[in-house]
Structure 1
């Protein structure tokens, strides 16, 4: 018997007291809100806090869940060889509690961006869709299934109570 393999990730919408959103510029994918993969033995919230700190230098408290996403497309990683499996992603709202903007091995820039200008920075369609779900959040967690390759396609959407 073999078990399915999934990547579990978390993303954080970090909003400061002035209404700005934390964005990081990745080496591979342009501007995004911070987040990343959960490591073996790590829980989801600790992974999110770690990833935000690593990518941006900002310390956060996690507030609440706003979206759950399944990227069910399989494709080759940047190396052209490695198969990337289904990814399950949890997006949370976070509050900054310290730290200073910085960069990492994964990022080339980090910045606080006015909430109404964030979509001017983000070009990746899946990240844009997830950011829009954050903007539209009405207390119901959004679920979306999508594929990134060969083109971004939404396969299913729903609100979860």
Structure 2
């Protein structure tokens, strides 16, 4: 029996007191809300705080879980050789508590964007879908199963 391999990732929708959302511009994926993979031995909250700080320069406090997502499509990484396994992602609302906008090895820009203008910048279908779940959040956790390759397709969409 082969043990399953999954990538665990976290995403943070960081909203400031003026209703602006923190976005970062990645080299491969365009504008997104910050987040990334949880490292071995790292808890979800620490991973999210680390990823947001690394990608944007902003320090945050994690507030609440709003969505759990599975990207169950297996596809090739940017190198065209490596298989990308199933990814399980959890999105959280976060509050900024310090830091200053910065960039990183992964990001070429970071900005506070008016909440209503975020979808004008975010083009990746999965990120757009997850951001819309944030806009529609009324207290129930969203669960979605989707694939991103060859095209974006939602396979399951419900609240839990």
1:77 shift after superposition: 0.3
Show CA shifts across 1:78-106 (max 9, x none): 00011000000000000000000000000
- TM norm structure 1: 0.99
Runs in 1 of length 4+ with deviation above 3 angstroms?
A: none
CA distance in 2, matches of 1:42, 1:137: 27
Partners in 2 of 1:29 and 1:126 — Cα distance?
Answer: 11
C-alpha distance in 2 between matches for 1:138 and 1:159:
11
Q: Which residue of 2 aligns with 1:54?
A: 54
Give CA deviations for 1:124-148 in whole Å, capped at 9, x if unaligned.
0000000000000010000000000
Show the counterpart of 1:121. 121
Give the Å deviation of 1:3: 1.3
Alpha-carbon shift at residue 118 of structure 1 (Å): 0.2
Q: Deviations over 1:14-40 (max 9, x none)?
A: 000110000000011100000000001
- Cα distance in structure 2, aligned partners of 1:4 and 1:46: 24
> How far is 1:2 from its partner?
2.5
Q: Name the CA distance, whole Å, in 2 between partners of 1:152 and 1:32.
A: 16
Partner of 2:6: 6
Q: Secondary structure of the equivalent of 1:112?
A: strand
TM-score of the two chains, using structure 2 as the length reference: 0.99
